[in-house]
Amino acid sequence: MPLDCRPEELLIAAIARLLRGCRNIAVGVSSPIPGSAALLARAESETPLRVELLESLDGNSFTRGSVELFDRAAQGRIDAFFLGGGQIDGQANINLVGTGDYPRTAVRWPGSFGSAYLYFLVPRVILFREEHSRRVLVPKVDFVSAPGVSAPEVYRRGGPCALITGKALFRFDRDRRRFRLESLHPGHDLADVLETTGFDFDHDAAPAATAGPDAATLEMIRGPVAREIAKAYPKFAARVFPRA
Q: From 7-15, 112-120, 132-140, 220-228, give the range in contact with other proteins by CB under 8 A.
A: 112-120
Binds other proteins by CB under 8 A, chosen from 17, 43, 45, 68: 68
Tell me: does residue 48 bind other proteins (CB under 8 A): no
Tell me: does residue 31 bind other proteins (CB under 8 A): no
Per-residue burial over 202-219, b = 16 or more CB atoms within 10 Å of its CB, e = otherwise:
ebeeebeebbbbeeebbe
DSSP single-letter state for residue 99: E
Cross-strand bridge partners of residue 107: 99
Task: Please list, in sequence order, all residues whose beta carbon lies within 8 angstroms of the beta carbon of residue 25, skipping any fewer than 6 positions away.
Answer: 19, 38, 41, 42, 49, 50, 51, 52, 78, 79, 80, 81
For residue 102, give the nearest of 154, 145, 71, 49 by alpha carbon.
Answer: 145
Q: From 44-52, 105-113, 171-179, 194-202, give the range in contact with other proteins by CB under 8 A.
A: 105-113
Helix%, strand%, coil% for the chain, nearest 5: 30, 20, 50
Closest approach, Cβ 104 to other proteins, in A, equals: 5
DSSP single-letter state for residue 3: -
Closest approach, Cβ 63 to other proteins, in A, equals: 5
Tell me: does residue 74 bind other proteins (CB under 8 A): yes
| Residue 125, phi then psi, degrees to nearest 5 | -95, 125
Tell me: does residue 5 bind other proteins (CB under 8 A): no
Tell me: does residue 75 bind other proteins (CB under 8 A): no
DSSP single-letter state for residue 142: S
CB-wise, 154 or 216, nearer to other proteins?
Answer: 154
Tell me: does residue 130 bind other proteins (CB under 8 A): no
Q: Quick one: CA dihedral 166, 56, 158, 44, positive or negative?
A: negative
Binds other proteins by CB under 8 A, chosen from 4, 47, 67, 205: 67
Tell me: does residue 223 bind other proteins (CB under 8 A): no
Binds other proteins by CB under 8 A, chosen from 84, 85, 90, 114: 114
> Site residues (CB under 8 A) for other proteins?
29-30, 55, 57, 62-68, 70, 74, 96-98, 102-106, 108-121, 143-147, 150-151, 153-156, 235
